Amino acid sequence: MAEESVKLLGYWASPFALRVKWALKLKGVHYEYVEENLPNKSPLLLRYNPVYKKIPVLVHNGKPLAESLLIIEYIDEAWKQNPLLPDDPYERANARLWAKFFDEKCVPEVMGAFASKGEEQEKAAKARENLKMLERALEGKPFFGGDKIGFLDIAVGWIGIWGRIVEEIAGVSLIDAETMPLLTAWLNNFLEVPVIKACIPSWHELLEHNKGFHKILTGSST
């Protein structure tokens, strides 16, 4: 039987590439990682994702797949060990629903709070409202996936890191223990799981990178 070829095209500071790394590690899938230079996209990236020209891209036996949530679902179906999505069809649909809610309702507001100049508080307030709603999916469970890390944990987990970055750089709070105790406790637990923690970039490097990115987005010279 021919050996499987698994390649991930990503960028070290991308939360969406981090999602895929977490999924591959949790599933125990060996893969080759290819770091992309986003301002100067490689011929490989343009070949495998000619439509969006974005990372992450998973290439499995020569077949490319883009979009992080779709990639995670594919990984879960292609490698059956350590399932990420629940067995129950209703619970599986709910996990997908909340992941879609997070990407469509939370991510734009978080990014808006980071990138806006003069509207940070307004964007942050909306992000907090949506994150508080997301917290409902955690009630009675240590993880979104139940007793173990699952699909939704992987989809949402990066907010614990980038939320701190937004607070540090833009000066607005997105998550706090008083208003979101379940989400705060979950993040503290999730980000300390060894396989999760091992994939997270250096905090100092991530912070410095995003300080520069924030200046570009806001047109700030300071």
pLDDT (tens, 9 = 90+) of the chain, 222 residues, equals 356 899 999 999 999 999 999 999 999 999 999 999 999 999 999 999 999 999 999 999 999 999 999 999 999 999 999 999 999 999 999 999 999 999 999 999 999 989 877 777 888 899 999 999 999 999 999 999 999 999 999 999 999 999 999 999 999 999 989 999 999 999 999 999 999 999 999 999 999 999 999 998 888 644
Which of 137, 153, 152 minimizes the C-alpha distance to 189?
A: 153
CB crowding 173-212: b at 16 or more within 10 Å, else e: bbbeeeebebbbebbeebeebeebeeebeeeeebeeebee
Instruction: Find how far residue 5's CA is from the centre of its chain.
Output: 24
Structural tokens at position 164: 């701190």
